[in-house]
Amino acid sequence: MKLIAETAWHHDGDFEFFKNLITEISTKTKTEIIKFHISLDVDEYVHTDHPGYQWMVDRMFTEQQWDEVLNIALKYKKKLMLLFNDKKAIDFGMKYNPEIVEIHSVCLNDIELLEHLNLKINSDTKVVLGVGGSDLYEIENAISIFETKNMVLMHGFQNYPTKYEDINFGKVLKIMQLYPNYEHGYADHTAWDNENNILITLLGANLGMQYIEKHVTTVYGKDRIDWQAAISIEMFNEIAEKLKVVEQAYGDAKLKLNAGEKSYSTFGANKKAAILSKDIKKGEKFTKEHFTFKRTGQSSDLSQLNILDKVGEKISKDLTLGHCLNSNDFE
């Protein structure tokens, strides 16, 4: 399970703040992946009548500034996760050959943007689709545009901040079951000061996610863009440690018994084993009247079902009342 440090627009147009944020995340957190929202063409992304249009114009970075900040993360050997809001951003960002790229859920229906990204990726590029707040038709349509199967469906959305009743982990799990061949992630946006912030994140992780995403800040609780869901570096590191526990507890999801289950399921001391309820002679045919199931200090290599399969077989040696039956007791 990978923990992603999300930066989004938390820079608020302050380039020095942004450089410091990336340096702090790179040097003080346990993340392998830092996520960047790259926008280079506001007019492609939003119409001039959008209330946030001028706000975005005032907070845009140049390609040279993006080069500088991305190279800070690379300097500290962090993986780049680049979210693209426009085609110019795709052309710029793909020069870095990022391992992970993303299309935000607000752009999930932008066919031109999706098709443009599809032309730029290779088989090694992991494509993340933000699917929070999207219906199955939208999700399926976006998936169909990409030729790659190297894809992550990122669940969760930001509604400043996310309320418990809007997360709907039950629905998320159903969508995961519909797409078992893809990886899945959960982007948590619980309020920064909510007492259950970490708990909600871990509950999402325990659905079987491969990726968990959290906004991170160096000015915890200070009013700036995306501050409502931005946690401190200390909280981020605490989540990183607890995710290890979640991952261990989740296990490999294989149906066969693991070592611990096998140890617990020994026949005799724990699970009931077949105990002879009467003496039986060598060569005698084994019947249901010869045994009963009990827990015992003896051990057996035969389960209850194995014993039932032995009914009708011949006994290999003389056995007495109270003997715990094993496979070598049969011819």
Q: What's the number of domains the chain is made of?
A: 2
Strand bridging mode 79-84 / 33-38: parallel
Q: Which residues pair with 285 in a beta bridge?
A: 314
- Domain identity same for 227 and 281: no
Q: Which residue among 224, 250, 276 closes a domain? A: 250
- Domain identity same for 285 and 150: no
- Domain identity same for 20 and 158: yes
- Domain identity same for 105 and 170: yes
- Domain identity same for 60 and 175: yes
- Domain identity same for 165 and 293: no
- Domain identity same for 211 and 308: no
Please write the tens of the pLDDT for every residue from 12-41.
999 999 999 999 999 999 899 999 999 999
- Domain identity same for 128 and 195: yes
H or E, element range at 213: strand 211-217
CATH number of the domain within which 276 lies: 3.90.1210.10
Question: Which domain, by its residues, includes 148?
Answer: 2-250
pLDDT digits (tens), the chain, 331 positions? 999 999 999 999 999 999 999 999 999 998 999 999 999 999 999 999 999 999 999 999 999 999 999 999 999 999 999 999 999 999 999 999 999 999 999 999 999 999 999 999 999 999 999 999 999 999 999 999 999 999 999 999 877 677 778 889 999 999 999 999 999 999 999 999 999 999 999 999 999 999 999 999 999 999 999 999 999 999 999 999 999 999 999 998 888 988 888 888 889 889 999 999 999 999 999 999 999 999 999 999 999 999 999 999 999 999 999 999 999 999 9
CATH number of the domain within which 124 lies: 3.20.20.70
- Spatial contact of 324 and 291, defined as CB atoms under 8 Å apart: no
Output the average pLDDT for the chain. 95
Between CA 189 and CA 170 the distance in angstroms is 17
Q: Which residue among 222, 250, 278 closes a domain? A: 250
Cis peptide before 161 (omega within 30 of 0): yes
DSSP H helical segments within the chain, as ranges? 15-28, 42-45, 53-58, 63-75, 87-93, 111-120, 136-145, 164-167, 169-178, 197-205, 233-250, 259-264, 304-310
- Spatial contact of 186 and 204, defined as CB atoms under 8 Å apart: yes
Q: Which residue among 250, 270, 298 closes a domain? A: 250
- Domain identity same for 133 and 160: yes
- Domain identity same for 104 and 172: yes
Its pTM stands at: 0.88
- Domain identity same for 110 and 141: yes
Between CA 232 and CA 218 the distance in angstroms is 6
- Domain identity same for 243 and 295: no
Write phi, then psi, for 60 (nearest 5 degrees).
-75, 145
Indicate the DSSP class of residue 103.
E
